[in-house]
Amino acid sequence: LRGRRARGGRAPPAERLRRPPPLVARAVRVPEAPGLGRPQEAVVLPRRRRPCRLRDLPRHAPHLHPAPVPRVRLPLDERQLVALAVYAILLMPGFLQVGYYYFFSSQVHRSIVYGEQPRNRLDLYIPKDNRRPCPVVAFVTGGAWIIGYKAWGALLGRRLAERGIIVACIDYRNFPQGRIGDMVSDASQGISFVCNNIASYGGDPNKIYLMGQSAGAHISACALMEQAVKESSGQPISWSVTQIKAYFGLSGGYNIHNLVDHFHQRGLNRSIFLSIMDGEESLSRYSPEIVVKESSARTIALLPHIFLMHGTDDYSIPSSARFVYAFCRCLFSKMKGKQYPPSLQIFLMLW
C-alpha cells in the first residue's frame, strides 16, 4: 500500500483491508498419530464463538432484554415503623434482663404508697450491703408529661444500688389524669416521703440528692423552686429544701414559653401542651427560669448545689444555658452585699 501510494497509484478499497469475519472456519492439521506411519487427514474445526453479552443485543429488541425489577419504596411512616421494630428487637435482651431484675429481685421494693392518689407510689432499690446508712437519690422519671412511669428508672436504680446508693423512683399522675400542678404536687409529696422515712430503709437522711430526667427534670425543678419559695416566706412545709444535698437535671426544659412552638412542630399539639400546663397563663409559674428571676435572695440562698446536663443534639427538648445564667444573675445581683452562706453552686454540662 505504501509503495503504490508512493508511485501515485490508487489505494485498494476499504472493503479489501477489512479483517475476515470472526466465524470463518480455519483448517488445522493434526500431527501424526503415534504408531502410524502416515499423517491423519486434516479436519476442519470451527473458530470459537465469542459469548453473547447483554450489551451486544440491539436496543430496538426489548423482548431480548430482561424486565427491570421494580424497587419497593416504603412510605416514611412505614420505614420509621420498621426501624422502630428492628430497634426494639435489638434492645429486647437488655429489656428482659432489667424486667427480670425489676419483678423478681429482693433488692427492689415496688409500689410503696406515699400519698392518697392512685399514682402516688414509688419504688426503692436497696443495696445488698446496707449495714451503714447509704446515700439516697430521689429520681423523677420523664415521659413528656404523658407516659411517665416509675419503672423507667429500673436500670438507673440497679446500677446505683450496685454502688451502695439507695434510689427512690417517684411516680406521679400523668396527663390527662392530672395536669402540671398535680404532677408537681405528687413529686413534692414523694420527696417529702423520702426525706422523712428513708432512714427506716437504711438510707442516710443527711445525704439525699434529687434527680429528674426530661419532663421529670422540669417537674422536680418546679417542686424544688416551689418549696424554696414557701420556705423562704414562712409557709408550712412538709420537707425542707436544705435536706437536699444537690439537684441533678438531665435534659430538662426550664422555660416552658420557649417549648410551646417546639413541641407543636415535633407533634405535640399546642392545645394539648397548653392543657397539660394548665393554660397559657400558667406557663410563667411553671417555668423555673422565670421563677428564679422573680425570687428573692433569701429563696435563692436556700437552694442546693445544682448540676444541669444536656446533650446539644437533643431534638426532643433543645438544650439551653439560660436556666444557669438566670441562676447566676440572681445569685450575684440579689445576694450582693448580703451575708448569706455561699451554698449555691451551678454546673452546666453540654455534650
Q: What is the pLDDT of residues 97-117, one digit of tens each?
A: 888 999 999 999 999 999 999
Low-confidence ranges of the chain (pLDDT < 70): 1-76, 319-351
What pLDDT sits at residue 343? Answer: 47
Which residues, in sequence order, are CB contacts of 187 under 8 Å at separation 6+?
140, 170, 172, 216, 219, 220, 222, 223
> All domains of the chain, ordered by start, with CATH?
109-350 (3.40.50.1820)
278 in active site? no
What pLDDT sits at residue 238? Answer: 92
Q: Which of 238, 261, 314, 343 is catalytic?
A: 314
What pLDDT sits at residue 342? Answer: 41
Q: What is the pTM of this model?
A: 0.72
Q: Which of 185, 188, 214, 220 is catalytic?
A: 214
Which of 150, 149, 157 lies closest to 105, judged by CA?
157
What pLDDT sits at residue 161? Answer: 95
What pLDDT sits at residue 292? Answer: 86
Which of 344, 223, 213, 191 lies closest to 288, judged by CA?
223
What pLDDT sits at residue 22? Answer: 53
Which of 58, 55, 26 lies closest to 43, judged by CA?
26
The residue assigned the cell 392545645 is 271
How many beta carbons lie within 10 A of that of residue 280, not counting itself? 13
What pLDDT sits at residue 102? Answer: 93
Report the length, in residues, of the chain.
351
For residue 257, give the 3-state DSSP assignment.
helix
314 in active site? yes
